[in-house]
């Protein structure tokens, strides 16, 4: 695909790793794009829907299990102008666009993209970690708050990550991963789903506590039906270890289970 062929594999655009801007070839209305592809929505209430995925680079968190390593731990991307992004999206025959990352809402320019997509009649889903609330035309806020089990530690870091980098990020990730005010703003302003990455039963008390807190501060109801448990696993092999356990937990607590269809179908291939 043309987009991914032109990404900065040497990581020169590394400023995006802190969510800050990247100097150089950045167009005024552009975004650092890691990949842009057509696939089936693999997760959540819209699983199975043909969609164009726009994956921005750069994240304000560092989940040890991040399945998009080249948008967080080692960001690689090419800047694309809004016009180029829209042309690429329109070259696919789809009504749904999924804006993801990295964390797409660290970029102010994501708002202009969402506005342009709204003008053109697209249904937009934004995949977000829930730490940033922006005012934008979003049809589905797909919020995945990060649990303690996502925090990197010396024993729990991506294989390729620099040890010092992981240590440095542990504290920041732990500090920033939950922002109740941002979460409340997102659920109040948008149609939403809360999609938790779960490994085992140890994750459940934190999810239940967070729901109590969020239900307390948010002005809208949060139904058990709005809560989805998603098995941790970037590969078929790993999902085979987690998914039945997570399905059982969903049944036990009356929450939804969401598969990771794209992993079942295409494993961890890029642009799927």
Ligand X SMILES: Nc1nc2[nH]cc(C(=O)O)c2c(=O)[nH]1
Ligand Y SMILES: C[S@@+](CC[C@H](N)C(=O)[O-])C[C@H]1O[C@@H](n2cnc3c(N)ncnc32)[C@H](O)[C@@H]1O
Could you tell me the two tokens for 4?
Answer: 């991914």
Residue 254 φ/ψ, nearest 5 degrees: 75, 20
Site for ligand X in 35-74 (CB under 6 A): 39-43, 53, 68
The distance from CA 167 to its chain's CA centroid, rounded to whole angstroms, is 22
Angle between helices 204-217 and 180-189 (to 10 degrees): 70
Residue 124 φ/ψ, nearest 5 degrees: -115, 130
| Partner that binds at residue 180, options ligand X, ligand SF4, ligand Y, none, CB closer than 5 to 8 Å by kind | none
Cis peptide leading into residue 237 (ω within 30°): no
| Partner that binds at residue 199, options ligand Y, ligand SF4, ligand X, none, CB closer than 5 to 8 Å by kind | none
Query: Per the annotation, does 193 bind a ligand?
Result: no
Q: How far is the CB of 255 from ligand X (least distance, A)?
A: 18
> Using CB under 6 A as the criterion, what x/- string covers residues 165-194 for binding ligand SF4?
------------------------------
Q: Which of 14, 165, 218, 272 binds ligand X (CB under 6 A)?
A: 272
3-state DSSP assignment of residue 17: helix
Element (H, E) at 251: helix 236-253
57 and 46 in contact (C-beta within 8 Å)? no
Site for ligand Y in 79-138 (CB under 6 A): 100-103, 127-129
Query: Per the annotation, does 144 bind a ligand?
Result: yes
Site for ligand SF4 in 128-157 (CB under 6 A): 129, 146
Q: How far is the CB of 99 from ligand X (least distance, A)?
A: 9
Q: Is 130 left (phi over 0), alpha (psi -120 to 50) or beta?
A: left
The stretch near ligand X (CB under 6 A) out of 34-42, 116-124, 173-181, 182-190 is: 34-42
Query: Per the annotation, does 110 bind a ligand?
Result: no
Query: How far is 31 from 149, CA to CA, in rounded Å?
Result: 30
Could you tell me the two tokens for 189?
Answer: 């302003």
Q: How far is the CB of 43 from ligand SF4 (least distance, A)?
A: 12
The stretch near ligand SF4 (CB under 6 A) out of 41-49, 66-74, 243-251, 259-267 is: 66-74
Indicate the residue among 59 and 147 with the shorter CB distance to ligand X: 59
| Partner that binds at residue 62, options ligand Y, ligand X, ligand SF4, none, CB closer than 5 to 8 Å by kind | ligand SF4
Query: How far is 95 from 263, CA to CA, in rounded Å?
Result: 22
The binding site consists of 40-42, 55, 59, 63, 65-68, 100, 102, 144-146
């Amino acid at each position: 695909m043309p987009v991914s062929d032109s990404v900065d594999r040497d990581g020169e655009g590394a400023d995006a790793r802190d969510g800050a801007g990247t100097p150089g070839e950045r167009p005024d209305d552009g975004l650092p794009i890691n990949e842009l592809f057509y696939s089936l929505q693999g997760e959540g209430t819209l699983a199975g829907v043909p969609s164009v995925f726009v994956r921005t680079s750069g994240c304000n968190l560092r989940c040890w299990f991040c399945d998009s390593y080249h948008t967080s731990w080692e960001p690689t991307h090419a800047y694309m102008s809004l016009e180029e992004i829209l042309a690429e999206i329109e070259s696919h025959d789809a009504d749904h666009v999924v804006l993801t990352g990295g964390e797409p809402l660290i970029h102010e320019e994501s708002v202009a993209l969402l506005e342009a997509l709204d003008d053109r009649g697209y249904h937009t889903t934004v995949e977000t970690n829930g730490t940033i609330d922006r005012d934008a035309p979003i049809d589905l806020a797909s919020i995945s708050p990060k649990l303690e089990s996502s925090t990197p530690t010396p024993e729990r870091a991506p294989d390729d990550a620099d040890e010092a980098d992981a240590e440095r990020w542990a504290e920041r990730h732990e500090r920033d991963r939950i922002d109740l005010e941002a979460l409340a703003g997102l659920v109040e302003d948008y149609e939403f789903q809360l999609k938790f990455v779960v490994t085992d039963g140890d994750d459940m008390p934190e999810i239940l506590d967070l729901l109590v807190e969020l239900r307390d501060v948010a002005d809208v109801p949060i139904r058990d039906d709005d809560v989805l448990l998603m098995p941790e696993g970037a590969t078929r092999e790993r999902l085979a270890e987690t998914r039945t356990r997570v399905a059982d937990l969903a049944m036990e607590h009356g929450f939804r289970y969401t598969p990771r269809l794209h992993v079942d179908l295409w494993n961890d291939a890029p642009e799927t």
